[in-house]
Amino acid sequence: MTRRPAPEPVQIVKQRRDAVLRALVEGVPYVQFMGITFERRGDELTGIMPYKDDLIGNPILPALHGGATAAFLEVTAIITLSWAFIWEDMESGALDVSDLSHVHLPRLPKTIDFTVDYLRSGLPRDAYARARINRSGRRYASVHVEGWQDNRERMFAQATGHFVMPQRKG
């Protein structure tokens, strides 16, 4: 009778996942410039764009710049898609995470097109976004993103984008 190996201690698993996510997000200068961060629950990610004056497009209202909203949703789509791509390899051990300070990540997906639907003006508050991967094939992926602020039920913007996936080696 063979005994099943003991499961990995939960803190080791969390440490590995969080370090890979950090490497993914903190490696992108534009994401840092926008101040966008990600919260993780298992494999689910929520993008957070904390309010700062630099994000304003209409100083009279005031309202978030439509471009800042578009960028936030696109960043959330790309990070979520990349994270899903990495997840499998990270969990199976195919991704070398022996040195968590130097994780060698695959290339990022490339945006083909991105369409933003502005539902109401962005308030000078923190914004949140979650992406749903509607299809992810070997070459292309289709992703939908929802952005909200104070109320989860009242989206201020949503977007759909298509992406070219990085190619796995071999």
Partner 1 sequence: MTDKLKQANQFIRALPHARALGMELQSLEMGTAIISMPYAERLIGDPKTGVVHGGAVSALMDTACGAAVMSHPSNPAGTATIDLRIEYLRAATPGQTITTEATCYHVTRSVAFVRATAHDEDRATPVAMATGTFTVEGRK
By CB under 8 A, which span of 25-33, 40-48, 91-99, 134-142 interacts with partner 1? 25-33
Of 6, 15, 9, 14, the C-alpha closest to 99 is: 15
30 binds partner 1 (CB under 8 A): yes
Three-class secondary structure of residue 44 per DSSP: strand
CB atoms within 10 A of CB 49: 27
CB atoms within 10 A of CB 29: 8
Query: The dihedral of CA 131, 134, 135, 140: what is its sign?
Result: negative
By CB under 8 A, which span of 12-20, 31-39, 95-103, 144-152 interacts with partner 1? 31-39
142 binds partner 1 (CB under 8 A): no
Q: Which of residues 100-139 bind partner 1 (CB under 8 A)?
A: 107-108, 110-118, 121
Which C-beta is closer to partner 1: that of 29 or that of 170? 29
Least distance between partner 1 and beta carbon 57 (Å): 5
Query: The dihedral of CA 128, 152, 148, 118: what is its sign?
Result: positive
Least distance between partner 1 and beta carbon 25 (Å): 11
Tokens in use for 74? Answer: 């696109």
51 binds partner 1 (CB under 8 A): no
46 binds partner 1 (CB under 8 A): no
Q: What angle do CA 85, 44, 48 make, to 5 degrees?
A: 105
Residues binding partner 1 (CB under 8 A): 27-34, 53-59, 63-68, 70-72, 74-75, 78, 107-108, 110-118, 121
